[in-house]
Amino acid sequence: MSDSSGKLKLGALVALVVGSMIGGGIFSLPQNMAASAGVGAVLIGWAITAVGMLTLAFVFQTLANRKPDLDGGVYAYAKAGFGDYMGFSSAWGYWISAWLGNVGYFVLLFSTLGYFFPVFGEGNTPAAIIGASLLLWAVHFLVLRGIKEAAFINLVTTVAKVVPLVLFALICLFAFKLDIFTADIWGRGTPELGSVMNQVRNMMLVTVWVFIGIEGASIFSSRAEKRADVGKATVIGFVTVLLFLVLVNVLSLGIMTQPELAKLQNPSMAAVLEHVVGHWGAVLISVGLIISLLGALLSWVLLCAEIMFAAAKDHTMPAFLRRENANQVPANALWLTNAMVQVFLVITLFSSSTYLSLIYLATSMILVPYLWSAAYAFLLALRSETYEQALAERKKDLIIGAIALLYAIWLLYAGGVKYLLLSALLYAPGAILFAKAKREVGQPIFTNVEKLIFAAVVIGALVAAYGLYDGFLTL
């Protein structure tokens, strides 16, 4: 899928988007959604998510085309629009989110293997952590051999993981029962779900977890064969994944009732298919999930290293992260990333309770980079920058940018104050690397506005630290 110069073609870029978006989330979707919403709220939530996420996909497409000189996606847009510290924070937040997500993938992978080999338990037993660590370093050395080779393997696993999803959709389409689907549309029979508005808010948080990765192609923009392919890959990848997610979610609601689905163990897709075709259905989905997680792990290891490397290339991160090996892989960024994953794998051994909340935290870390990207696209259209000869396009992009921005703000609200404070705790220490990068180029560390922003982050971090100590905040 790549030509001799090592550049990524459209197919490889689409696979990166689909591969990083379809990880483990979709396989747990029937239970996750049913636990927070009834049929009606699920449909409303998907409609809002489709519009919101589509505008975000368009934002990444527009920015890739209008600002072809900006490499590194989410991080570069924040820097161009809002200064060095915001750019750095975007790269830092994105990076933390990505490797925390990988820790989650390892735990989920080994808990799925636990279905076949009980020694792995819930994915956080000593045997599981040893297995995960061995796999982590195997992936690490595979990526060190070259981005192009790793992108090709990602393409193969992406195709392999889509097969069980297609089978699931086809089988469930024939087993779908309208009377089950329409039995309790607004979730009135389950009062603990709360009002429809509440149900929509809760289920939409789940939809964000499954869409992370939509920006995958824009992060690799500098390695794309054609710039225009970056935007195309983003939109094609988004539409493909949206279709799968809605089918898996909606068809399940016509096979088992909402209370039945809410009680399932994850990966709940396995139990839904087992309900229709018997035991082999559960085995098929479990194998699909294992392949899917292996592919997603590879995508995210690539993304982690690439974002640090891109930020170091233009002096937003320290110079040591710029070093590439003979295969043009950002080696130091890769070592730093996987060392962090290893540390957190060991932590999950001692505190299994914090693992899931860390995954939610990982997602709230990514909302900030999304917010800056949407704000930057909106600003470009507002100022008519790059729109001198395209007034009709400017109006369209202004509306898309505004919707994407409102959606990003709404997501922060839906995530809640707790995760905002905990994010500040992870954002604050990044300033050490930022200061080092600024010293290397002999510039003052913060502008006056950035000093205020940094002060706010530090205050948030202190409140979070005290909250964890005092117990009014928990992980």
Amino acid identity for residue 111 in this structure: S
Whats the size of the chain, residue-wise? Answer: 475
How many domains does the chain fold into?
1
Q: Has residue 469 been placed in a domain?
A: no
Q: Has residue 150 been placed in a domain?
A: yes
Q: Which domain holds residue 372?
A: 10-418
Q: Does the pLDDT of residue 350 top 80, yes or no?
A: no
Sign of the CA dihedral running 369, 209, 211, 215: positive
Higher pLDDT pick, 1 / 474:
474
Q: Does the pLDDT of residue 88 top 90, yes or no?
A: yes
Q: Has residue 407 been placed in a domain?
A: yes
Q: What is the pLDDT of residue 5?
A: 59
Best-predicted range by mean pLDDT (70-74, 132-136, 228-232, 389-393): 132-136
Q: Which residues pair with 2 in a beta bridge?
A: 8
CATH of the domain at 262: 1.20.1740.10
∠20-23-25 over CA atoms, to 5°?
Answer: 125
User: Torsion angle, CA of 188/414/211/187, rounded to 10 degrees?
Assistant: 0
* Rounded distance between C-alpha atoms, residue 70 and residue 37, angstroms: 40
Higher pLDDT pick, 218 / 385:
385
Q: Does the pLDDT of residue 401 top 90, yes or no?
A: yes
DSSP, collapsed to helix, strand or coil, labels residue 345 as helix
Q: Does the pLDDT of residue 353 top 50, yes or no?
A: no
Q: Which residue has the tokens 């110069």?
A: 5
Q: What is the pLDDT of residue 427?
A: 92
Indicate the range of 89-93, 208-212, 315-319, 343-347 predicted with least confidence.
Answer: 208-212
- Read off the DSSP letter of residue 135: H
Q: Does the pLDDT of residue 1 top 50, yes or no?
A: no
Query: What integer is the mean pLDDT of 103-109?
Result: 85
Computed over every residue of the chain, the mean pLDDT equals 87
Q: What is the pLDDT of residue 357?
A: 64
Confidence of residue 16 (pLDDT cuts 50, 70, 90): confident
Q: Concatenated DSSP letters for 384-426?
A: TTT-TT-HHHHHHHHHHHHHHHHHHHHHHHHH-HHHHHHHHHH
Q: Has residue 474 been placed in a domain?
A: no
Q: Has residue 3 been placed in a domain?
A: no
- Within 10 angstroms of residue 94's Cβ, the number of other Cβ atoms is 27
- Read off the DSSP letter of residue 325: -
Name the residue among 274, 109, 303, 105 with its Cα closest to residue 215.
303
Q: Has residue 319 been placed in a domain?
A: yes
* Rounded distance between C-alpha atoms, residue 19 and residue 17, angstroms: 5
* Rounded distance between C-alpha atoms, residue 212 and residue 433, angstroms: 25
Name the residue among 62, 72, 32 with its Cα closest to residue 217.
72
Q: Has residue 475 been placed in a domain?
A: no
Q: What is the pLDDT of residue 176?
A: 95
Higher pLDDT pick, 447 / 72:
447
Helices (H) and strands (E) in the chain, counts: 20, 0
- Read off the DSSP letter of residue 317: S
Q: Does the pLDDT of residue 369 top 50, yes or no?
A: yes
